[in-house]
Amino acid sequence: MKNKLYQIVNHKAFQITVISLIVINAILVGVETYDHIYQDHQTFFHYADRILLWIFTIEIVMRFFSTSVRSFFKSGWNWFDTLIILAGHLFTGGHFVTVLRVLRVLRVLRAISVIPSLRRLVDALVMTIPSLGNILFLMGIFLYIFAVIGTMLFSDIAPEYFGNLQRTILTLFQIVTLDSWSSGIMRPLMAYNQWIWIYFVSFVLIGTFIIFNLFIGVIVNNVEKANDSEEEEDPANKQVSVSVSELKRIEQQLESIQAELKKQNHS
């Protein structure tokens, strides 16, 4: 029974069906934001949500019984899916209508746990958190240094951007995003001093091109690690490795048999 459920849950058609239901759920949640449609069809949206919730519940139960309890709860994605479904059953209405509608939106995130490529990407992002902490600390040092310098240099000529330390940090954050930093901030200040561009260009080079490239490099590296680890854990790959080792063993046995036959022929 467990093997049969495992085959069904991991079948491509089953996964496509689950993804399709998640997309339908997402569409219904989006349509609910139009009050004139939602008010006229509240009953339809209510029963559609109940049906989808129970289908997702059955899916979780099938996944639970298709493997061992330890294997099921070993995956953080299974924890996430289970909590989302349980919350949907708990907040069924009354004073929790707003919470329920928010939880319906969160069900869309289940697409991440169902689609392997998205799951690997999120796993890679989680793996980058320790490394990103060091990069964020480095970026914070540069941000603080440039914020203090900017406040000292431009607080008198542009107090709306550099009037104090927190305003300067917010301005530098806007510059890092490359949002109108040249035409909106740098060029108006160059009317007071033509050498002001050195401050802004150096910050953009350090903050945007160097620090952000460190982010990208760490993320790409961890994506590759996540792909490699999933390939190692893939049962199909294990089966292939077992088959290769088995073939090598058979080949060695055949070579030993041929050697014995040659000895007998010479004798």
Per-residue model confidence as pLDDT tens digits over 150-204: 999 998 888 999 999 999 999 998 898 888 888 888 988 888 888 889 999 999 9
User: How much is the pLDDT for 133?
Assistant: 79
| Domain match, 33 and 68 both | yes
- pLDDT beyond 50 at 240: no
Q: Which of 29-33, 86-90, 243-247 has the lowest mean pLDDT?
A: 243-247
Burial 132-149 (b: 16+ CB within 10 A, else e): beebeeebeebbeebbee
Tell me if 121 is assigned to some domain.
no
Tell me if 252 is assigned to some domain.
no
User: How much is the pLDDT for 169?
Assistant: 93
Q: How confident is the model at residue 123 (pLDDT cuts 50, 70, 90)?
A: confident
Mean pLDDT computed over 67-81: 82
Least Cα distance to 172 among 210, 140, 217 occurs for: 140
**Among candidate residues 114, 143, 162, the one where a domain is terminated:** 114
User: How much is the pLDDT for 168?
Assistant: 94
Mean pLDDT rounded to a whole number for the chain: 79
| Domain match, 180 and 223 both | yes
- pLDDT beyond 50 at 238: no
Task: Return the CATH number at 21.
Answer: 1.20.120.350
DSSP states of 12-42: HHHHHHHHHHHHHHHHHHHHHTSHHHHHHTH
Task: Return the CATH number at 211.
Answer: 1.10.287.70
- pLDDT beyond 70 at 99: no
- Domain of residue 54: give its range: 2-114
| Domain match, 6 and 75 both | yes
Tell me if 52 is assigned to some domain.
yes
| Domain match, 200 and 137 both | yes
- pLDDT beyond 70 at 243: no
Query: How many CB atoms are closer than 10 A to CB 101?
Result: 16
Tell me if 106 is assigned to some domain.
yes
User: How much is the pLDDT for 146?
Assistant: 93
Tell me if 19 is assigned to some domain.
yes
User: How much is the pLDDT for 170?
Assistant: 92
Residue % of the chain over a pLDDT of 90: 12
The structure's pTM equals 0.54
CB 203 within 8 A of CB 172: yes
Per the structure, the count of domains in the chain is 2
Q: What is the pLDDT of residues 177-187, one digit of tens each?
A: 888 888 888 98
Q: How confident is the model at residue 144 (pLDDT cuts 50, 70, 90)?
A: very high
CB 107 within 8 A of CB 88: yes
